[in-house]
Structure 1
């Protein structure tokens, strides 16, 4: 590859990331309804055709934001798990970190789990960052446990429910610690 081709590729990658960042910032400030290709083109100072050379439309942009979010989530959960001294503490730490992530980044969380994307969960096509996020839950359980993926799925699903119900105001946020304690206790007794 020539130096010119390498520079063009770096510039394209930079534009791609700039569009993703602008979409996330706009969604965090005004909600996902405000994220349009026209507004993004204005914000990144590129034409709409340039935007479409990177993404097929808003759904593709949301998918890219979500994938970026899963990379961040995996790192966040990994840090929480590795900071915990014992397996039960690790599960509690990862669970709390998950809920903190969802609370602190509502627009990103919405892109990752609520809005339509082309990301495949639990399949051979699952992107590495998504699998890495899930594996942080799996790694909280004993390696010799045949049901560790099942436990991880149940924990993740329950935490997702808690996050969504809390964000929508359907359950009070102040009971979150008690919910996590109950969930961990129930899963720990089933292992």
Structure 2
């Protein structure tokens, strides 16, 4: 076989491998998209691999070629949620140069994610909070650590700028985080239970909470 012929065969094999990998990634993404839609409709308990397979016209066996079980697929769905959450916080951080307004923007981004992705939020931060330290980004970094670091960096910068008083940045970060998480958690868990607990009430509480923390943490 000539060198040119060998080179052609190598290229053909390489393209074949690339096509198979592309199809594999497309199938995996189709499964994830169907799983996300089903999850948002049925929730954590009502979700099944058989339903996902039926939604995209595959057999359940095909799903198992990409995800080992229901939990593995749900984790992948929530990992996308962690990515969306971290990106939302990152945008809030970058788009608000004023240190105090940046803290406010982070709190609002946190709330809006919870209200717009209620089932994601409940699984990610309430039902399966152990996934916070498991979900990683494309660089292999833990998503939960990334989002926490964004908030803590904003706290440190606000302290340095004199927007809030100096103190233990970890303690202050945890204080802000717990307050915002509490508002989101109440808003989601009280839906349909207490009439006043609508999204507008959650936003009203967030405004009041931020006013209180501004006064309490003021320099």
Deviation, 1:63, is 1.2
Q: Residue in 2 aligned with 1:65? A: 77
Q: 1:124-163 to 2 correspondence within 5 Å? A: 127-142=141-156, 147-163=168-184
1:105 paired to 2:117: yes
> In 1, Cα distance between the equivalents of 2:172 and 2:51?
42
Deviation, 1:153, is 3.2
Q: Deviations over 1:12-53 (max 9, x none)?
A: 222222222222211222323331011001112221111112
Deviation, 1:165, is 0.7
1:80 paired to 2:92: yes
Q: Residue in 1 aligned with 2:30? A: 18
**Taking CA–CA contacts closer than 8 Å with sequence separation of 6 or more, which of the two structures ends up with the larger relative contact order?**
1
Q: Is the 8 A contact 2:133 2:142 kept in 1?
A: no
> In 1, Cα distance between the equivalents of 2:107 and 2:215?
12
Q: Residue in 1 aligned with 2:47? A: 35
Unaligned runs of 5+ in 2: 1-12, 161-165
User: Residue 181 and residue 50 in structure 1: after superposition, are their counterparts in 2 closer, same or farther (change >3 A)?
Assistant: farther
Stretches of 4+ aligned residues off by more than 6 angstroms: none
TM score, norm. by length of structure 2: 0.73
RMSD of aligned Cα (Å): 3.0
Paired residues, what number? 189
> In 2, Cα distance between the equivalents of 1:121 and 1:176?
26
For the residue of structure 1 that corresponds to 2:154, the secondary structure is coil
Unaligned runs of 5+ in 1: none
For the residue of structure 1 that corresponds to 2:127, the secondary structure is coil
User: Residue 14 and residue 118 in structure 1: after superposition, are their counterparts in 2 closer, same or farther (change >3 A)?
Assistant: farther
For the residue of structure 2 that corresponds to 1:85, the secondary structure is coil
TM score, norm. by length of structure 1: 0.83
1:165 paired to 2:186: yes
Q: Is the 8 A contact 2:49 2:63 kept in 1?
A: yes
User: Residue 12 and residue 84 in structure 1: after superposition, are their counterparts in 2 closer, same or farther (change >3 A)?
Assistant: same
Deviation, 1:185, is 4.1
